[in-house]
Chains A and B, each alone.
Chain A
Amino acid sequence: MKKNTKSLLFIILAIVALIGALALVRQSQETRRSAYFAGTSLRVGSPGQTFLVNNIGEDVLVPVFIETEQVVGTDEMAKVDFAKITLCYGDHLNLVEDADGYVDYLVDFNHDAFDVLLFTKVENNCLTFTVKSEKSADRLKSGMFRVATVTFNTIAQGSGSINIDRDKTQVSGSNPNLGSNDMALSLGDLVGVDYSVGGGGGPTNTPVVINPTNTPAVPVDVSPTLRPTSTSRPTSTQRPTSTLRPTSTSRPTVPTSKPTDKPVVPTSKPTDKPVVPTSKPTDKPIGGDTPILNFRIAFAGVKTNHAYCVVAWPVGVIVMKGETKKSYADVIVENTGEVNSKGEIIFVGSLELTGFYETEGVAAFIKGPKHLQMKYAMENQAGSYGKAGGELNLTYSSKIYNFSEYSLLAGDVNRDGWINGLDFSQVKVVAVKYIEVEVGGYITEDLDGSCQVNTADTTLLVKSLDERQEELY
């Protein structure tokens, strides 16, 4: 009897242990199913940016960025393959539907990061758009990158904010942990942007700078501690998955020169990427006895739709007349938001020519950080000058020489003064790995400033080589 009792107790104990073990296994799986594999944050516009629009009717190009965090337990940044984002804005802005009632054409998504704009919808002053990537995991974007740029139209005077609706925003990606089915990225900070629409009167109007404490036009919860309760990925789409964009647009796609239209190239750069050459602020013309060279230039291949890593590219300037020559290093040029006839962004630089006293018949030689040195010797020069000397007449005022149609040729990445096979090989070895950097970063071989080195850069180099050889031979 005693023996039977012992056996019975042992059996009961074993069964309890079995049930406990099964319960533990089930609990583990359930926890994993609802987990995020990494975090992410979203931002509208650049840090500290306020969109200032002078006139009603003008467009505002508003970029939306994602920044992913490191995947727990790995040294990899999370990669994004899907984003559904809802932007809410004030009554001063509008998104004009096309003839078919869609606003797809106003959402210029980042084609390097995503392949398809699945869905757009405007409701109650909120735009929801969904983008999806069909790229393989190794081609997906990580770190900070642009999701899309939305073109709003201003319809009323006033100020407000464009914010991200946390409850209607979802981001997911490729989990490097092959043993996990978790695809969702948790939402951390969602940072909106302020805007101010002036009452007309042209560019002389003083724009209203928004007080950060102003109540946003559409209040949203930006507390990073709140988490959405659902992590499921949307299964239905209301639009075809075609990557074709509407061909007809009634809105300008080229930014104007107004300061409010310059958000396509963020002005900030990450502090952990100290690779941009040492630079100093652009000297501003102050008049007096020192001649000033104000100039507009373009970097070959640097265009508005991808130049998110063209931040504070310094140029070297040499001014010369006869035997007299003076060099100036690390002159910073600023994005004007305008483009030349090739669609390349025009930058403006201003240099007080300290120590140089010639004012007539001057030639200027300008070299970019990965560009050939180009000779500029006449106003509105659009090609090689092709002879000795120069025709620039420097002033002490604000005359600006326009050299933007004769772009700085890109490709001298080893800075030996030539574009040749050594430069090509250096760019190619990086391009085949699709090395990239976050928005605002710097890679020497990234010739078009797209934040990624790829075949576009090798192609640009070959094009530059061809152009220079045509000039030489």
Chain B
Amino acid sequence: MNGENKMQKKQEWLKFVIPVVAVLIIAESVLVVSGLDKKKTVANVVPEKKAIVSEESDALLPEEDALLHFVFETDKDTLLVGEENKVGVSLVTETDVSLDSLELYVEYDPDVFDVSDLDYGDSLPKPAFMKASEDKGLVVANFMISEANGLPLADGDVMKVLDFVVTGKQTGEYKFSISTGGVSEGSVTMLVENASQGLVPFSSDELVIRITE
């Protein structure tokens, strides 16, 4: 009698467990199948296409609003005729900015000065073009930044752009200045920002050198 009860109980237990297991497997199968579909959907969404953004260049702001400044540096502002002295041009930044290009044109009087030994700053890449043109009275240095994110400059940075040696040829007071136009408006000093591909406003000072006998 006891054996029959045990057998009966076992059968009833099996009758309960087998359908439950079967239902669980069916449910899992359904989940696996629907999971495949979900995976497919996600995979299709992930590789987004990036649009090409083309923004027009920013208009130049008034210089008083400029946050980048070209400054001249020199040890001596009085030279003897025939004396050599090094002149530097640096860029002072009052904001965080990243540059795609830096094109610098420094005007000088080739009848008064000889310019030689051009050298560019360590932070800059090899210039696309660098020359002191006696014909045009210009020191030209063009830097194109190949890095995707440009050349990052932080607020407070002072970056050497260029230095060169000047030799006085005749007495008088003469100046070096940053060109913002000339040679039919090709010699335009400009800074192009990485983020906007637009022009960044800047200010500049002049360097007056007195040449004596």
Interface of A toward B, CB cutoff 8 Å: 7, 10-11, 14-15, 17-18, 21-22, 24-25, 28, 73-76, 138, 176-180, 418, 420-422, 424-426, 428-430, 432-433, 435, 455, 458, 461-462, 465-466, 469-470, 472-473
Is A435 within 8 A of B52, CB to CB? yes
B208 near A: Cβ within 8 Å?
A: no
Is B186 within 8 A of A418, CB to CB? yes
Is B188 within 8 A of A455, CB to CB? no
User: Min CB distance, B41 to chain A, in Å?
Assistant: 9
Which one of B29, B39, B54, B148 lies within 8 Å of A22 (CB-CB)?
A: B29
**SS of A interface (majority):** helix
Chain B residues with Cβ below 8 Å from A28 are 33, 36
Give the residue name and chain of the A residue nearest to B27 (CB): A21
The docked-state distance in angstroms from the alpha carbon of A433 to that of B53 is 11
Is A421 within 8 A of B101, CB to CB? yes
Is A425 within 8 A of B197, CB to CB? yes
Is A424 within 8 A of B100, CB to CB? yes
Which one of A17, A426, A465, A472 lies within 8 Å of B197 (CB-CB)?
A: A426
User: Min CB distance, B57 to chain A, in Å?
Assistant: 6
Give me the 3 closest cross-chain CB pairs, A-B, nearest first. Answer: A421-B101, A14-B22, A179-B39
B102 near A: Cβ within 8 Å?
A: yes
Is A73 within 8 A of B44, CB to CB? yes
Is B186 within 8 A of A421, CB to CB? no
B1 near A: Cβ within 8 Å?
A: no
Given contacts A14-B23, A433-B50, contact A469 B40 (CB under 8 A): no
B62 near A: Cβ within 8 Å?
A: no
Chain B residues with Cβ below 8 Å from A465 are 128-129, 142, 144
Is B44 within 8 A of A177, CB to CB? yes
Is A177 within 8 A of B43, CB to CB? yes
B89 near A: Cβ within 8 Å?
A: no
Is A76 within 8 A of B49, CB to CB? yes
Is B140 within 8 A of A473, CB to CB? yes
| B177-213 near A? 1/0 per residue, CB < 8 Å | 0000001001010111110010100000000000000
Chain A residues with Cβ below 8 Å from B57 are 422
User: Min CB distance, B91 to chain A, in Å?
Assistant: 14
Is A428 within 8 A of B43, CB to CB? no
Per the 8 Å Cβ criterion, residues 1-36 of B in contact with A are 15, 18-19, 22-23, 25-26, 29-30, 32-33, 36
| B94-122 near A? 1/0 per residue, CB < 8 Å | 00000011110000000000000000000
Chain B residues with Cβ below 8 Å from A177 are 40, 43-44
User: Min CB distance, A26 to chain B, in Å?
Assistant: 10
User: Min CB distance, B15 to chain A, in Å?
Assistant: 4
Sample 5 A-B pairs with CB under 8 A, ordered by A number.
Answer: A11-B18, A176-B44, A422-B190, A422-B197, A465-B129
Chain A residues with Cβ below 8 Å from B175 are none
Chain A residues with Cβ below 8 Å from B47 are 74, 76, 138, 176
Which one of B15, B32, B46 lies within 8 Å of A11 (CB-CB)?
A: B15
User: Min CB distance, A2 to chain B, in Å?
Assistant: 13
Is A176 within 8 A of B43, CB to CB? yes
Given contacts A74-B44, A428-B146, contact A14 B33 (CB under 8 A): no
B162 near A: Cβ within 8 Å?
A: no
Given contacts A424-B100, A435-B52, contact A14 B192 (CB under 8 A): no
Is B46 within 8 A of A458, CB to CB? no
Chain B residues with Cβ below 8 Å from A435 are 52
B123 near A: Cβ within 8 Å?
A: no
User: Min CB distance, B142 to chain A, in Å?
Assistant: 6
Chain A residues with Cβ below 8 Å from B74 are none
Which one of B52, B136, B188 lies within 8 Å of A433 (CB-CB)?
A: B52
B69 near A: Cβ within 8 Å?
A: no
B171 near A: Cβ within 8 Å?
A: no
| B42-81 near A? 1/0 per residue, CB < 8 Å | 1110110110111001000000000000000000000000
Which one of A176, A178, A472 lies within 8 Å of B186 (CB-CB)?
A: A472
Is B100 within 8 A of A425, CB to CB? yes
Given contacts A21-B29, A422-B190, A425-B100, contact A473 B138 (CB under 8 A): yes
Chain B residues with Cβ below 8 Å from A422 are 57, 101, 190, 192, 197, 199
Give the residue name and chain of the B residue nearest to A459 (CB): B146
Is B129 within 8 A of A178, CB to CB? no
Chain A residues with Cβ below 8 Å from B29 are 18, 21-22, 24-25
The docked-state distance in angstroms from the alpha carbon of A104 to that of B4 is 84
The docked-state distance in angstroms from the alpha carbon of A176 to that of B101 is 37
The docked-state distance in angstroms from the alpha carbon of A420 to that of B144 is 9
Is B144 within 8 A of A462, CB to CB? yes
User: Min CB distance, A344 to chain B, in Å?
Assistant: 21
B86 near A: Cβ within 8 Å?
A: no
Chain A residues with Cβ below 8 Å from B33 are 24-25, 28
User: Min CB distance, B116 to chain A, in Å?
Assistant: 15
The docked-state distance in angstroms from the alpha carbon of A28 to that of B40 is 13
Give the residue name and chain of the B residue nearest to A458 (CB): B146
User: Min CB distance, A411 to chain B, in Å?
Assistant: 10
Give the residue name and chain of the A residue nearest to B102 (CB): A421
The docked-state distance in angstroms from the alpha carbon of A7 to that of B19 is 9
Is B43 within 8 A of A179, CB to CB? yes
Most chain B CB neighbours (cut-off 10 Å) among A11, A74, A180, A424: A424
User: Min CB distance, A36 to chain B, in Å?
Assistant: 15
The docked-state distance in angstroms from the alpha carbon of A469 to that of B131 is 9
Give the residue name and chain of the A residue nearest to B24 (CB): A18
Given contacts A421-B190, A465-B128, contact A428 B133 (CB under 8 A): no
Given contacts A7-B15, A435-B52, A472-B183, contact A73 B40 (CB under 8 A): yes
Chain A residues with Cβ below 8 Å from B42 are 178-179
Is B146 within 8 A of A21, CB to CB? no
Given contacts A179-B36, A458-B146, contact A473 B43 (CB under 8 A): no
Chain A residues with Cβ below 8 Å from B142 are 420-421, 465, 469
